Chains A and B, each alone.
Chain A
Amino acid sequence: MEPKLTRRDFSEKLAFGSFWTAVGASVAGMLRLLKPAVMPEASTRVKLGHPDESPPGTERYFPEHNLFVFSEGAGIHAISAICPHLGCIVKQLPEGRFECPCHGSRFNAAGEVFAGPAPSGLPWIEIRRAPNGVLYADTAVTVPAGTQWSRA
C-alpha cells in the first residue's frame, strides 16, 4: 500500500515548495532586467533624397546603414548589405553580384544566394516617400524581394 502523506511530510513539502517557488520567481524577475525594452540603436531611417537625385540606371551606397539603393526605369529598390549568414558586410563585385568576405556567401544582383552558407538572400528594404516628396528607407523593415518604390 502507498504510504500515506503525513501531516509533517505535507508541511515540509509545502515549505520547500514555497521556498523554491520564491527563488524561481525572484530569479525570473531579475532576468527580465537583462532584456532591453528599448533598443539603444541609432535611427534605422535612411534619407535617400528626392527621387530625381537617383536617376534610372544609378546606384548609391550608404555605408553608415549598410544599404545599397538601385534606381531603374520603373522604380527604386534598396538591398541590405548585411549578410544573413553571420552578419558581415557584403561587397559588390563589378558585375553586380555580391560577395561576403567572412565565409564566402555569394548573391546575385537581386540578392539571391547561390553559393555559400547564407540561409537566405540579402534582405530587401522598404522605401517610402514622405509627404514632402523625399524618399526614406527603414533598414528595420524588410519587404519581399522584388518590391520596388515605383515611379508611377
Chain B
Amino acid sequence: MAEAFKSFLVNLKRLPRTFWGSLRRRGEATSDRARSQAVFSNLFLHIHSVKTHKNSLKPSFTLGLGLLTTACLVILTVTGILLMVYYKPTTELAYASIKDIHFVVPTGRMIRNLHRWAAHGMVIGVFLHMARVFYTASYRPPREFNWFAGVALLALTLALSFTGYLLPWDQLAFWATTIGVNIASSPRELTDALGLTQYFDPGGLIKQLLLGANTVGSEALIRFHLLHVMVLPIMLFAILGVHFWRIRKDGGLSRPASADPPTDGEFFPKSETKTYGLMAVVRGKTPAVGRAPENTVNSWPHLFTAEMAVFMFATAVLLVLSLTLDAPLTEAANAAIPENPAKAPWYFLGLQELVSYSGFMGGIGVPMITLLGLLLIPYLDREKGDVGVWFSGPEGRRVAIQSVFYSSALVIGLLALVINFGWLREWYPDIPQLVITFVNPGTVFTIGFAAWSFWIMRRHDSTRMAAIALFTCFLVGYIILTYVGTVHRGPNWDFYWSQADWPAH
C-alpha cells in the first residue's frame, strides 16, 4: 500500500484527537503551569487574570454580586433571543404573540418566565453590587473610572427593563409606559409654569424622540423594541467589556492592606517550573509588586469553580421561580381606560410615589441629583487607607446604622404626615404651581439627607463618613418609597394597608 494512503488512514483514525488537540494548543492542562498558559492563551478565559488574590475569592468580600448580575445578564440574553423567535413588535400582533409564547409555544412559558425573573434578579443584583462596592470603599483610585462605568451600567440596566416592560402591549405595559414617558417629558411642567414652552420645549422633544409621536402607539412600540433588543444591549455589553477590562488593569479587585502581609525579604520562592513574565504594566498594586505571590491562587480552578457555582446558583433559583410563578399578563392595551392602579415595575415605584406629588421634581429632579451624586462619590471622597474594608471599620458601621435610623425617621415621618394630611395643594389651594413643582417630599428628603451628611462630615472630620451617611440615607429612602409604592398604594394611588382592602370594582 502506498505510504500516503497509510498515513491518510492513520490520520483519519486520529482525527478526533488531533482536532481536539488543535483546539487546545497546549494539550491536557494537568499542571498549574499548563492551566496558566491555557488561561492567557484562550480568548474567553483571558478576561481573567491567571492568578487570583485569595481575598477576591472570599464570599464575604464580593458576596458574588457582580457575578450574580452577570449570570442574570447571560440568562437574559439567551432567553431574550429565544423570545424574539416568536415575538412580533407591532401593535396588532404583539399581545397575541406574547399569549402564543405563554400558552402555545413549547417551553415558551418557561422561557418567558425566566426572562422576566432574570430581569428582576439583574436589577436587584446591580443595586446590591453597587452597595457592596460602595461600602467596601472599592471605588478608591485607581478604580474611580470603573465606578463611573458601573453607574452607566446601572442606568442601562434600568433602561432595559423599562423598554422591555412595554413589549407585551398589555394594559399594564401601555399605561406604565405612558406614565414613564410623561415623566421623561415633565420638564414641560417647568417650561409651562414659566411660560416658555412655545419657545423652548425640551420635554416635548424627549417625548417625540422616545415615542415618535405624541402618544404611545405603533411608532413607540417599534422604538422601544429597537432599544430593548439592540441599542441598549450593545451599549451594555460594550461598557461591561470596559468594566471587566478595568478590573484587570486596576490590579484585580480591591482588597484591604492587611490581605497582603509584607514578606521578609525574598519575594519569589525559587522554583524549577514557575517563571513570571511581565504581561503588562498596570496601575496599583498587583500581587507581584512588593509582595509575595503566595496570597494568590491559580484562577483555574479556584476562580472558575467559584464562578460556575454562582452561575449554577442563579440558574437554579431562577428555574424554581419560573416553575412556580408565571410572568404577569393583563388584558390587551386599551388607550381609553387606564389600568387602575397603573404601576410601573417595582423598582420604579419609589419614583412613582414621588411623582404623585409633582412630576418634574419627583421624576427628573431627584433622580438626576441622585445619579450625579453617585457619579461624583469617588472624586469627592479621596481618603486613603480603608480600601476593601467593610464600612471602613467600626466608625463607619456606626455612622451607617445612625443614618438608617435618621433617614427612616425622616422618610416615614414625612410620608405619614402627607398620607394623613395631604400635601401643599390641600393645605394652600392657591399656591403657585412652581412651588408645587419644586417642593416635592423628595426635595425635602434630598435636603434632609444632604444636611445630615454635612453634619456627619463636620463631626467626624471625614469625607468617607459623610459619603457613607449620604449613600445609606438614599438607599433607605429608596427602599421605603419603593415599599410604600408597591405594597400600600392602590386604586387612585390611595393608601391601603393591604391589597385585601382595595375597593372592588
Contact = CB atoms under 8 A, between A and B. Distances in A.
A49 to B, nearest CB: 20
Interface string B355-374: 11111001000000000000
Interface centre among A64, A88, A114, A115 (most CB of B within 10 A): A88
Interface centre among B192, B436, B493, B494 (most CB of A within 10 A): B493
Nearest to A90: B338
B208 A35 contact: yes
Interface in A27-80: 34-36, 39-41, 63-64, 66
Contacts of B355: 86, 103, 117
Interface residues of A, number: 27
Contacts of B471: none
A104 B492 contact: yes
A99 B338 CA distance: 12
A31 B179 CA distance: 25
Contacts of B178: 86-88
20 contacts: A36-B212, A36-B213, A39-B213, A41-B214, A41-B215, A86-B186, A87-B182, A88-B175, A88-B342, A101-B342, A101-B491, A102-B340, A102-B492, A102-B493, A103-B352, A103-B493, A116-B356, A119-B193, A119-B358, A119-B436
B422 A115 contact: yes
Nearest to A34: B209
Contact of B179 (A63, A88, A114): A88
Given A36-B208, A88-B175, A104 B356 contact: yes
B189 interface: yes
B287 interface: no
Interface string A84-108: 0111110000000001111110000
> Chain B interface secondary structure, helix, strand, loop or mixed?
helix
A120 interface: yes
Contacts of A114: 425, 429
Contacts of B189: 119
Given A63-B336, A117-B356, A119-B189, A40 B213 contact: yes
Given A101-B491, A120-B192, 8 more contacts: A35-B205, A36-B213, A102-B175, A102-B493, A117-B357, A117-B436, A119-B359, A119-B436
Given A35-B205, A39-B213, A117-B355, A86 B219 contact: no
Nearest to B183: A86
B341 interface: yes
B264 interface: no
B425 A88 contact: no
B336 A102 contact: no
B491 A115 contact: no
Interface string B481-505: 0000000000111100000000000
Nearest to B433: A119
B217 interface: yes
Contact of B209 (A35, A86, A87, A120): A35
Contacts, number: 93
Given A34-B209, A88-B179, A101 B359 contact: no
> Chain A interface secondary structure, helix, strand, loop or mixed?
loop
A101 B436 contact: no
A88 B359 CA distance: 13
A14 B212 CA distance: 38
Nearest to B425: A115
Contacts of A117: 355-359, 362, 436
A85 B341 contact: no
Interface string A103-128: 11000000001111101100000000
Interface in B183-228: 183, 186, 189, 192-193, 205, 208-209, 212-215, 217-219
B337 interface: yes
B254 interface: no
A102 B179 contact: yes
A101 B433 contact: no
A117 B357 CA distance: 5
A110 to B, nearest CB: 15
Interface in B323-382: 336-338, 340-342, 352, 355-359, 362
B224 to A, nearest CB: 13
A138 to B, nearest CB: 14
B426 interface: yes
A88 B492 contact: no
Given A89-B338, A102-B493, A119 B437 contact: yes
Contacts of A85: 182, 359
A119 B215 contact: no
Contacts of A101: 338, 340-342, 491-493
B147 to A, nearest CB: 27
The 5 closest A-B pairs by CB, nearest first: A103-B356, A101-B340, A86-B182, A88-B338, A63-B336
Interface centre among A101, A113, A117 (most CB of B within 10 A): A117
A69 to B, nearest CB: 16
Given A35-B209, A114-B429, A104 B214 contact: no
B188 to A, nearest CB: 9
A102 B338 contact: yes
Contacts of B205: 35
A119 B182 CA distance: 13
